[in-house]
Amino acid sequence: MGSSGDDGYRLLNEYANGFMVSQVLFAACELGVFDLLAEAPGPLDVAAVAAGVEASSHGTELLLDTCVSLKLLKVETRAGKAFYENTELSSAYLTRVSPTSQCSLLKYLGRTSYGCWGHLADAVREGKNQYLETFGVPAEDLFTAIYRSEGERLQFMRALQDVWSVNGRSVLTAFDLSGFPRMCDLGGGSGALAKECLSLYPGCKVTVFDIPEVVRTAKQHFSFLQEEEIRFQEGDFFKDPLPEADLYILARILHDWADGKCLHLLERVYHTCKPGGGILVIESLLDEDRRGPLLTQLYSLNMLVQTEGQERTPTHYHMLLSSAGFRDFQFKKTGAIYDAVLVRK
């Protein structure tokens, strides 16, 4: 240790410069580099990309070459000139035409989450989210801060649609849900997970329950071909009557809230739920010793800077769900980012 060539120093620099990698990804998406290359009839040189994204040639060249090193782009040289094209990774996840595009999620992370993370030390000191410091928005009502404008609400909903385009199938097939013909997605946003439910369980009907502004945005900006099977209902799941259902889905909901609010919501679901009905909780689960996975630990810090909650272990969720009255606790690690917990009344 103590020299510029040792592994520890290299690792330190990798960590310290990690924010630069994120910004390369965010900038390339925001500029539309991957979309431009996807639409082109063949690889493009620096001049063509710079013109297409309306950027300087110098800056574009630096960005493109860094994307090549990050395996986001491929490059070939012809007659001394570099030509760039997308890799399989960028074609699948970084172009808007792809059904698994993550562009909206990355835009949200780059514009909103990234700003909050700049105040991580303050969040650790204070034990609370950083919306006031980052955006000047009070966060006593959490989702008033998260949905602080119509544009931000739409961006958040599109980001979650991206999440479920990749992760929806694995969490909804972790257990056989065919025995639950009526489902209710509490806080279901755009209805992306509801659509995935219908594709996997064709006989089911899904109610998406969310606050009025979200339901209005969903109807204005997201298309629904299965209008008879997906129904939207306005309401606040902390205080308004919940729809009747055989299965209540809580996907990335409980991690937003402290234990007390989680228990209050789970008790409300328990009182509405009929015997034999259940809850499917979809979250990124921490290991029991809370020492990993690293991504879930980072998500838990993200909950600190952006919400009132945290990521939890299976035992922690078991405690909350059993305290609300639910039984037959099961959980499955999917091997992907999000895992599934199933309980019954």
pLDDT in tens, 34-43: 999 999 999 9
Look at the block and give the residue holding tokens 């257990």.
175
Q: What is the pLDDT of residues 38-73, one digit of tens each?
A: 999 999 999 999 999 999 999 999 999 999 999 999
Q: How much is the pLDDT for 80?
A: 92
221-236 pLDDT, tens digit per residue, is 997 655 678 999 999 9
Q: What pLDDT digit, counting tens, does each position of 116-131 carry?
A: 999 999 999 999 999 9
Spatial separation of the C-alpha atoms in residues 334 and 121, rounded to whole Å: 32
Alpha-carbon distance of 37 to 39, in angstroms, equals: 5
Angstrom distance (rounded) from CA 154 to CA 173:
28
pLDDT at residue 161 in the model: 96
d(CA 13, CA 178): 50
Q: What is the mean pLDDT of residues 94-101?
A: 97
Q: Which residues pair with 209 in a beta bridge?
A: 186, 233
- Return the closest-CA partner of residue 251 out of 141, 169, 335: 169
Average pLDDT over residues 236-241: 97
Identity at 97, one-letter amino acid code: V
**Do 210 and 189 form a contact (C-beta atoms < 8 A)?**
yes
DSSP string of 110-168, one letter each residue: IIIIHHHHTTHHHHHHHTS--HHHHHS---SSHHHHHT-SHHHHHHHHHHHHHHHHHHH
Give the integer Cα–Cα distance in Å for 318 and 250.
14
**Which residue numbers are catalytic?**
255
| Distance, CA of 21 to CA of 317 (rounded, Å) | 34
Instruction: Quote the pLDDT of residue 156.
Output: 96
* Average pLDDT score over residue span 197-212: 95
Confidence tier at 6 by pLDDT (50, 70, 90): confident
| Averaged pLDDT of the chain | 96
- Residue 91 predicted with pLDDT over 80: yes
103 vs 3, residue with greater confidence: 103
Q: For residue range 127-171, list pLDDT tens digits in order.
A: 999 999 999 999 888 999 999 999 999 999 999 999 999 999 999
Place 3 in a pLDDT band, splitting at 50, 70 and 90: low
β-bridge partners, 248 = 184, 279
pLDDT at 223: 79
CB count within 10 Å of CB 57 equals: 13
For position 122, what pLDDT does the model report?
98
The model's pLDDT over 266-317, given as tens digits with 9 standing for 90+, comes to: 999 999 999 999 999 999 999 999 999 999 999 999 999 999 999 999 999 9
Q: What's the token pair of residue 81?
A: 């000139």
Residue 94, pLDDT above cutoff 60: yes
Q: Determine contact, residues 206/231, Cβ cutoff 8 Å.
A: yes
Sign of CA dihedral 166, 148, 259, 216: negative
pLDDT above 90 coverage of the chain, percent: 93
Domains of the chain plus CATH, in order, are 4-94 (1.10.10.10), 163-344 (3.40.50.150)
Query: What local confidence, expressed as pLDDT, does residue 294 receive?
Result: 97
